[in-house]
Amino acid sequence: MKHDTRYAQINGVGRRERRPFGFLLWCVAFLLAGLASGQEPSTTKQIHSASGDWVAMTVDERQISVFELCTAVATLPPPQAQAFPLHPALAAQWYGPLIALAEEAKREHLGQQFLGAEISPVDQANALSAELIRKIAHESEPTEAQIEQYYLGHRNEFQVTKARHIVISYATALASRSTRTLTEAQAKADAISAALKRGADFASVAARESDDQYTKAKGGDLGDVPHNQMEPAIDHSIWSLAPGETSVPFRGRFGYEIVRVESRRILPLNESRDNIVGTIKFLRTSRQRQEIISRTRIALKRTYIESPLPCEVKTVALTN
Amino acid sequence: MKRIPRLGLPCLFMTVVVMLVSPLNAQTPISVYSAWHCTADFCTWATAEDPTTFDNQNRWMIDRNMDGTYHPSVNNVTFSFVQPVKLMDNTNDSGDINGIPTGMNTSAVTYFENRGVRVQFSIGGQTYTSDWDTALATNPTALGTNAANAAKSFNVGMEIDYENNKNPNLTGLQAFVTAYRAVLPYDATGANQAARLTIDLGAGDTYLPTIANYASTNWLKTTNPVLDYASAMVAQQSLSVSKLENYWSQHVKGYNGVPPVAPAKLTGSLWLTGKSANCNNFSSSDQNAAANFVKTIAPAGAGTTVGMLGFTFWAAGCQGTSTACTFPPTTCQNGMGTAAATFNIPVPMPALRQQ
């Protein structure tokens, strides 16, 4: 495709990653066009789509009219619906990839039922995009060998720690129903910590003293905790302690915390399988989705890099 | 036998008449009085505000009299939006920690919860539709599990805002909900804040009908409920209150094969911008006009009690231009705050009606 220098690409280098000389030529054209654009009155540069409407952007061969872009933007939540016309590059960065995926779906003859339907372009783009993503995800299903290979290469990701905790809340802690001051909470946590050091049973103390309503009845049992699944302070404590160790009191989101690590293990493959399948499918789908977007030339008309889209004030949003 | 006094019969008659008539005019108090919150950065919450600025921007929400007595203007705030793929992937980048935007931090949550205001995080929104599609097509279970664990970690509820209007991935969405509920079972008492899981539907029958059909059929029943309630989202800003009421009725009556939803499983949404009457002038506001309808709408095929749960407002925070923010100087205590006082909004939010 010959690139119209009245447009500026907004999705990175795209397919030019694989065509470095083409990219260099495009850069030169971009710079020359940039110099030229400052000399032309913008009104003379408006071009029209087949329907006579001004073209705002292109996605490869497809011309997106100002009307279509404005209508699509109007379906967005108010911050975007109001801001995107003022900053058309943001609008193009959202709508361009969506159209790129929809066009790919059309090329693959997916979602035919949505093509003739009387639905808005943005609904159609979302519907087609979803068809494409589902197809890619379906085709990304890993084999048993690939699942096992991933498991062996990422065993640490499937490490879990069985832990318990005791929370001593204070009035200003997150979700607190306590009237304790910070000092009172700290004193109580210190006293509990001392009792635990003297041999008190952690689960019994948790059941009696903890302010965590989720775990109190279970003796503070947090279950098998993977990495990065708890609030940062507890997560750090859980993964710093060895099995059998109990932390000193520390401040977390919900109050003073005391954590005890009971055991640590790597989940066997059968318990990790679903997660691995999901992870592999996601990685492959994301990569392919990004490849489609990257090899599509998404370009915004240069006029709209510097000036707002002439969207009507009236909105047709049906969404928040 | 005791004789009924001379005036007794008319009194008895009137009492019976009142008893017979009153169910028709019964008003159920509003339980949910909520606002989505976009903060100041296009609903991304990518930046953490400093506490002083955050307090200045949002004081009206927790202190409607602006006098330090801390009577909140709302009893629920929904931070919008979490990007589904990032949550599924527990992404850590410049704007997110474990998939949660940096601005949705403990400080922001505590700010509201310490005043008895519940907090939810909204997953999705229109701009993230394709990301919902990706997450649901690849690893919905991880998304559901991570959402539930984030909810527990922040002590917040979650909201599903999946806006694929014509072609939603319902299989994936069911897997998401199943995974969430595996970690946090439905809690009718509402005591476990993290167990609160709600969904956004269209204002009426013209938007998200496929999701509405599935949710109404499978998740919003009064027997074996899975989700706490649905919010009928805002429609065009210029819609009349009567049109909105008509939209909300469609959910309650059912439409085009979509089964009815109990009024006790529904909130209606209204616009909130910094200069709207909902924000600054309760007496002339849409919420004042719609309140009677919301409190009295009768079940029409699902549920037994009258009245929707309440209102959800789109949206606190900045709408992209300085004139429309709900931040000073256009804060909303005289619209929302007055409404909260007039409606006697309970803080904290009580257990919700289940029928």
What would the 3-class secondary structure string for A110-170 be?
CCHHHCCCCCCHHHHHHHHHHHHHHHHHHHCCCCHHHHHHHHHHCHHHHEEEEEEEEEECC
Does the pLDDT value for residue A282 go beyond 90? Answer: yes
**In which residue are the tokens 């629920």 written?**
B76
pTM of the model: 0.84
- pLDDT score recorded for residue B41: 81
Nearest alpha carbon to residue A90 among A71, A73, A66: A73
More confident residue, B169 or A4: B169
- pLDDT score recorded for residue B239: 77
| pLDDT per residue as tens digits for the range A67-122 | 999 999 988 877 788 889 999 999 999 999 999 999 999 999 999 999 988 899 99
Q: Which of B127, B136, B196 to mutate to test the interface with A (most CBs of A within 10 A)?
A: B127
- Across the interface, of B130, B152, B237, the residue whose CB is closest to A214 is B152
Contacts of B17 (CB under 8 A, 6+ apart): none
Let me know: does B206 contact B163? Beta carbons within 8 Å: no
- pLDDT score recorded for residue B238: 67
Let me know: does A237 contact A219? Beta carbons within 8 Å: no
- Across the interface, of A130, A213, A282, the residue whose CB is closest to B169 is A130
| pLDDT per residue as tens digits for the range B333-342 | 999 999 999 9
Let me know: does B102 contact B165? Beta carbons within 8 Å: no
**DSSP alpha helices (H): ranges in A264-315?**
269-294, 303-306
| pLDDT per residue as tens digits for the range B57-87 | 999 999 999 999 999 999 999 999 999 999 9
**In which residue are the tokens 């919900």 written?**
A254
Which domains, and CATH codes, for chain B?
27-342 (3.20.20.80)
- Across the interface, of A80, A229, A285, the residue whose CB is closest to B138 is A285
| pLDDT per residue as tens digits for the range A257-276 | 999 999 999 999 999 999 99
Task: Give contacts of B125 with chain A, Cβ < 8 Å.
Answer: 77, 320
Residue of B nearest to A95 (CA): B127
- pLDDT score recorded for residue A254: 86
Instruction: Kindly state the average pLDDT of the residues B238-254.
Output: 91
CB–CB contact B237 A130 (8 Å):
no
CB count in 10 Å sphere of residue A113: 11
Instruction: Give B36's strand partners.
Output: B78
- pLDDT score recorded for residue A215: 87
Instruction: Lowest mean pLDDT of A117-126, B221-230, B315-324, name the range.
Output: B315-324
- pLDDT score recorded for residue B15: 46
Number of H helices, E strands in chain B: 12, 10
| pLDDT per residue as tens digits for the range A286-318 | 999 999 999 999 999 998 988 999 986 443 333
- Across the interface, of B43, B90, B168, the residue whose CB is closest to A79 is B43
The full set of domain ranges for chain A reads 7-139+286-306, 153-266
Burial grade of A124 (CB within 10 A; 0-12, 13-18, 19 or more): buried
- Helix, strand, coil percentages (3-state) for chain B, rounded to 5, are 40, 15, 45
**In which residue are the tokens 């058309």 written?**
A88
The DSSP element (H or E) to which A189 belongs, if any, is helix A182-197
Fold annotation for A153-266:
Chitinase A; domain 3 (3.10.50)
- pLDDT score recorded for residue B240: 86
Q: What is the ipTM of this complex?
A: 0.84
Mean pLDDT over the full length of chain A: 84
Predicted confidence band of residue A44 (pLDDT cuts 50, 70, 90) = very low
User: What is the C-alpha to C-alpha distance for residues A186 and A170, in angstroms, rounded to an integer?
Assistant: 9
Q: Which of A135, A293, A320 to mutate to test the interface with B (most CBs of B within 10 A)?
A: A320
- Across the interface, of A94, A136, A278, the residue whose CB is closest to B127 is A94
More confident residue, B14 or A126: A126
User: What is the C-alpha to C-alpha distance for residues B79 and B34, in angstroms, rounded to an integer?
Assistant: 11
Does the pLDDT value for residue B322 go beyond 80? Answer: no
Chain A nearest-CA distance from B21, in A, is 38
Quick check: helix, strand or coil at residue A97? Answer: helix
**In which residue are the tokens 């202190």 written?**
B63
- pLDDT score recorded for residue A56: 95
- pLDDT score recorded for residue B320: 59
Let me know: does A318 contact B235? Beta carbons within 8 Å: yes
User: What is the C-alpha to C-alpha distance for residues A105 and A124, in angstroms, rounded to an integer?
Assistant: 11
User: What is the C-alpha to C-alpha distance for residues B353 and A28, in angstroms, rounded to an integer?
Assistant: 66
Does the pLDDT value for residue A238 go beyond 50? Answer: yes
User: What is the C-alpha to C-alpha distance for residues B152 and B149, in angstroms, rounded to an integer?
Assistant: 5
Chain B nearest-CA distance from A2, in A, is 30
- pLDDT score recorded for residue A117: 83
Let me know: does A301 contact A55? Beta carbons within 8 Å: yes
Task: Give contacts of A130 with chain B, Cβ < 8 Å.
Answer: 130, 133, 137, 164, 167-169
Does B192 lie at the interface with A, CB-CB under 8 angstroms? Answer: yes
Does B94 lie at the interface with A, CB-CB under 8 angstroms? Answer: no
CB–CB contact B110 A254 (8 Å):
no
For residue B61, give Cα distances in angstroms to A198, B310, B316, B332, B334.
Answer: 47, 17, 9, 8, 11
Nearest alpha carbon to residue B161 among B203, B200, B118: B200
Predicted confidence band of residue B168 (pLDDT cuts 50, 70, 90) = very high
Predicted confidence band of residue A53 (pLDDT cuts 50, 70, 90) = low
